[in-house]
Amino acid sequence: MSHIVIIGAGECGARAAFALREKSFDGQITLVGAEEHLPYERPPLSKDALLHGHEPKFVSEAAHYTEAGIQVLTGVSVESIDTAGKSVGLSNGDKLTYDRLLLATGARPRPFPGLAGASDRIKTLRTHHDAVSIRAALQPGKHLAVIGGGFIGLELAATARKLGAQVTLVEGLARILTRGVPEPVAAIIAERHRAEGVEILCGTRIEGLTEGRDNASILLEDGRIITADMIVVGIGAVPNVELARDAGLAIDNGIAVDQHLRTSAPDIYAAGDCCSFPLAYYDGRRLRLEAWRNAHDQGNLAAVNLMGGEEAISAVPWFWSDQYDLTLQIAGMADGATQTVRRDMADGAFILFHLAADGRLLAASGIGTGNAVARDIRLAEMMIAAGVRPDPVALSTPGTKLKSLLAA
């Protein structure tokens, strides 16, 4: 009987396992995860899990894995891959042989330079355990300091304010959300955070961090010291490639895969946050995405190709972030755009459309309350996939139906 082993029990790995059964794979499936929990979703960790102290939002309940015939090994890590013998060595001393292997090892928080690791007062946010330990500092009378003005840092800041904590956010670059978010959109988010009482310090270099029994401090280059009950470092993520690298697989800003998610080793695939891949929409540029949608989509795609399919990556990158009552959504990648067109919508919502020199729509960035931009961002996503070259004037005109531009 054919055996598919999946290393990494997160959204991507779990989705691949269930998709294999949905596509009638009748062999053995083993899903291996280092955490004690069954696979759970990570986006709620900076929002609902902190607000309400919930248990993880599980991808599926234990009974569903049993019903699907998926063996889940939790609390066990993979220590080695033998590509010649087609086996993996586990931390408990066991060995699993495979016919095909999927690496869905994800990513881990990028550590603050010079800091050995997380501690009682200086933390990162990646796991449910992290969220539980951070929540203790999110209450009235407490002061949280966040390092990093990306999605994780800002979502955490919004959640902390909702729970009544004082928040100071430090970003070394000139503005928040420099990675992939246009300045006008980032400005709206920064303004909202400040209105909610978050102190945002941009363009500020950190000289060092110190930790005491009751607090931790950030020493800034200009001599200022920010003392808080807890510091959370959110300065990006590092793909977990060590296992693949030690097995001799090609690495290029992640585990390098082709358009079918195949690695450089026979019968080994990789998907999700841990891998970089070429995307045809952007002239074959190699991307690595840290996003729930990408993990979900590539889990489905991996299942097809693990069964012998030859389906290429085709999903358009899509990101979202909820902060207070604002929702930010981005479809595509704006890198290389030569023209940006703004489309104003009701209640202050707007979308920026980013066009290439040849007129192709490369990306769309929208912000508004609730689901104000969701439908048009979805249509923009479809336009990007279709290679549409929309009329900029029509894009900027609120009365123009984007669906008509897609049809044209």
List b or e across 199-226, with b for residues whose CB sees 16 or more CB atoms inside 10 angstroms. ebbeebebeebeeeeeebbbebeeeeeb
CATH code for 325-407? Answer: 3.30.390.30
272 backbone φψ class: left, alpha, beta (φ>0; ψ -120 to 50): left
Superfamily of domain 3-108+238-306, CATH level 4? FAD/NAD(P)-binding domain (3.50.50.60)
Alpha helical stretches, state H, 231-360: 242-246, 292-306
Query: pLDDT for 236-258, tens place per residue?
Result: 999 999 999 999 999 999 999 99
Which of the residues in the chain have pLDDT under 50? none
Q: In whole angstroms, what is the distance from residue 11 CA to residue 8 CA?
A: 9
Kind and range of the H or E run holding 287: strand 285-287
- Alpha carbon 119 to its chain centroid, in Å, reads 24
Residues of CATH 3.50.50.60 domain(s) within the chain? 3-108+238-306, 111-233
Q: In whole angstroms, what is the distance from residue 331 CA to residue 320 CA?
A: 9
Task: Report the residue count for the chain.
Answer: 408
Alpha helical stretches, state H, 262-401: 292-306, 374-386, 392-396
Q: What's at 198, amino acid-wise?
A: V
pLDDT at 1: 75
Q: In whole angstroms, what is the distance from residue 189 CA to residue 166 CA?
A: 18
pLDDT at 269: 98
Q: 153, 78, 159: which is closest to 112 by C-alpha?
A: 153
- Answer whether 373's CB lies under 8 Å from 327's CB: yes
Q: 329, 320, 332, 322: which is closest to 356 by C-alpha?
A: 332
Q: What's at 169, amino acid-wise?
A: L
pLDDT at 117: 63
pLDDT at 52: 77
Residues of CATH 3.30.390.30 domain(s) within the chain? 325-407
Q: Where are the beta strands (DSSP E) in 8-157?
A: 28-32, 70-73, 78-82, 87-90, 95-97, 100-103, 107-109, 122-123, 143-147
Residues 6+ apart with CB under 8 A from 79: 89, 90, 91, 243
Query: pLDDT for 218-229, tens place per residue?
Result: 999 999 999 999
Q: What's at 348, amino acid-wise?
A: G
- Answer whether 389's CB lies under 8 Å from 361's CB: yes
Domain 111-233 listed as CATH 3.50.50.60? yes
Q: In whole angstroms, what is the distance from residue 136 CA to residue 138 CA?
A: 6
Which tokens hold the place of 132?
A: 């539980």
